[in-house]
Amino acid sequence: MLKKRDILIDTDPGVDDAIALMLAVRSNFFNIQAITTVAGNTSIENTTRNARYVLDLLDANHIPIYSGSTEPLIGKLHTAEFVHGTYGLGSLQPKNEIQLTHDAVDQMIRIIKAHPHPITVVTLGPLTNLAKAIQQDASILGNIEEVVIMGGAIEEAGNMTRAAEFNIYVDPEAAAIVLKADVRKTLVTLDACNHVELPLSHFDEIKDANLRENAKKMVEDYIKNTLELESESGAKAYDPLTIYYLINPAACTVKEYDVLVETKGEHTRGMTIADRRKVPDKNNVIRVVMHIEADLFKQDLMKYLNQEEIK
Ligand code: BDR
Ligand code: CA
């Protein structure tokens, strides 16, 4: 029997975050200790309600949800409803109650410190909550096995600005704190995600009718919006790919770079700058996922959502 990995997921659902939660829960690979929410793709009210909505769909209400930061460390929040829809889940309008607890940072610290062995922290949104947790109590780093971050772009262009990927752009100061933290860090970048697209028809393969219909309602508008913005014709799977890295690291190409976050540049704020020189700095070496096998991911995603055995 496979030993499940203990994880904590920090997220801003968001359509692809929602699919990532489906994959994390249905794959049975993880003991999800908690979900913490952050403002990013949309407001904290929406991201927290959406997280609950998705867990309801998955019959996974035993997983606690703690709401966190309403805005980045500095400046005002930039959201992405133009991609994820008015409420953050495409054309869905979740009506479940919004239950804000405002304690994600404290709960993160509590859970990490109380855990009997080092735990993995996965971030699928801006890094505000984790940065605050590190600022409040850096000793948590000693009980973290790995921080896996969806964010950044190394050779690819940005997706929020020409230089910056969305999660890093929304809170570059927080990203800089996390990327400098003394802990094993893995960045799942746009380089690893941009070539992977899920056409709407792919979701027809989900056997659970309720999950299928909900997933399609989320993804349909998300695809339309990315088509207008980026001329892409399938759903981008940034956050599910980040979960997939943990499930199947063998499908991923990982390089090591010293990475800095630009926090000041007029045109480059939020850019992740890897030292790709022949003789690079090695002060802050981070593991960077540069490629993930698209066909394998697509196949496995559906198998896991359908809880089929993977050979
Ligand atoms: C990231 O930005 C968000 O819009 C997505 O949910 C993902 O986490 C991709 O740049
Ligand atoms: Ca996200």
Centre a 10 Å sphere on the Cβ of residue 110 and count the other Cβ atoms it contains.
16
Pocket lining: 159 vs ligand 1, CB cutoff 6 Å: yes
| Centre of ligand 1 from the C-alpha of residue 238, in Å | 6
Half-sphere exposure of 256 (CA within 13 A, CB side): 8
Pocket lining: 124 vs ligand 1, CB cutoff 6 Å: yes
Index of the ligand 1 atom closest to the CA of residue 14: 6
Q: How far is Cα 310 from Cα 302, in angstroms, rounded to an integer?
A: 10
The predicted pLDDT at position 25 comes to 98
Strands 144-150 and 197-198, how do they pair? Answer: unpaired
For residues 76 and 40, is the Cβ–Cβ distance under 8 A? no
Centre a 10 Å sphere on the Cβ of residue 201 and count the other Cβ atoms it contains.
9
Half-sphere exposure of 79 (CA within 13 A, CB side): 21
The predicted pLDDT at position 227 comes to 79
| Centre of ligand 1 from the C-alpha of residue 41, in Å | 7
Mutate to test the pocket of ligand 1, among 15, 19, 21, 41 (most ligand atoms within 8 A of CB): 41
Index of the ligand 1 atom closest to the CA of residue 190: 10
Place of tokens 């940005």: 158
Pocket lining: 47 vs ligand 1, CB cutoff 6 Å: no
The predicted pLDDT at position 229 comes to 72
Closest CA to 303 of 244, 250, 245, 220: 244
Domains of the chain in start order, with CATH, are: 5-305 (3.90.245.10)
Q: Residue count of the chain, please give it.
A: 311
State the DSSP H helix or E strand holding residue 119, giving kind and residue range, or none if neither. strand 119-123
Please name which ligand lies nearest the alpha carbon of 242: 1
The predicted pLDDT at position 1 comes to 58
pTM exceeds 0.75 for this model: yes
Pocket lining: 238 vs ligand 1, CB cutoff 6 Å: yes
In the structure encoding, which two tokens stand for residue 269, read together?
């704020």
| Centre of ligand 1 from the C-alpha of residue 71, in Å | 16
Local confidence pLDDT in tens for the 311 residues of the chain? 578 999 999 999 999 999 999 999 999 999 999 999 999 999 999 999 999 999 999 999 999 999 999 999 999 999 999 999 999 999 999 999 999 999 999 999 999 999 999 999 999 999 999 999 999 999 999 999 999 999 999 999 999 999 999 999 999 999 999 999 999 999 999 999 999 999 999 999 999 999 999 999 999 999 999 877 776 678 999 999 999 999 999 999 999 999 999 999 999 999 999 999 999 999 999 999 999 999 999 999 999 999 987 66
| Centre of ligand 2 from the C-alpha of residue 148, in Å | 13
Pocket lining: 16 vs ligand 1, CB cutoff 6 Å: yes
Pocket lining: 166 vs ligand 1, CB cutoff 6 Å: yes
In the structure encoding, which two tokens stand for residue 213, read together?
């219909």
| Nearest residue (CA) to ligand 1, atom 4 | 41
The predicted pLDDT at position 233 comes to 77
User: What values do phi and psi take at 299, rounded to 5?
Assistant: -65, -50
- Looking at residue 78, the DSSP 8-state letter turns out to be -
